[in-house]
Amino acid sequence: MKRQSKPLFDATTIPNDLSPIATRLSTMLTGDWRSLRPVVDRAKCTKCAVCWLNCPVQCIVEKAAWFDVNLATCKGCGICMVECPHRAITMIEESS
């Protein structure tokens, strides 16, 4: 088996200001760029799971008597609010 004389990729040749994604791995959660976030009204939630079924990123988590939202992965699309038949979810502006 032949050995390659040069490595396939040399990260030291890339300038620091050029695409940091190409030089190091970074984790980006969808919740990092959201502008609206869902808030569940626990008094109105009947735990029907319609929000859980329709969430595209599956960030709805089950609690004892209601469903809640994992804000780390929620992208703020508002589908859960639109689909909730009991109007238990409202979208509020994300504070900085």
**What does residue 92 show for φ and ψ, rounded to 5 degrees?**
-120, 155
Indicate whether 8 belongs to any domain. no
CA distances from 20 to 12, 17, 29, 32 (A): 12, 7, 17, 17
Count how many domains the chain has.
Answer: 1
Residue 67 structural domain: 29-93
pTM: 0.68
Indicate whether 75 belongs to any domain. yes
Q: Give the CATH number of the domain where residue 87 resides.
A: 3.30.70.20
Indicate whether 5 belongs to any domain. no
Indicate whether 53 belongs to any domain. yes
What count of other Cβ atoms lies within 10 Å of the Cβ of residue 33?
10
| Per-residue pLDDT tens digits for 29-77 | 778 888 999 999 999 999 999 999 999 999 999 988 889 999 999 999 9
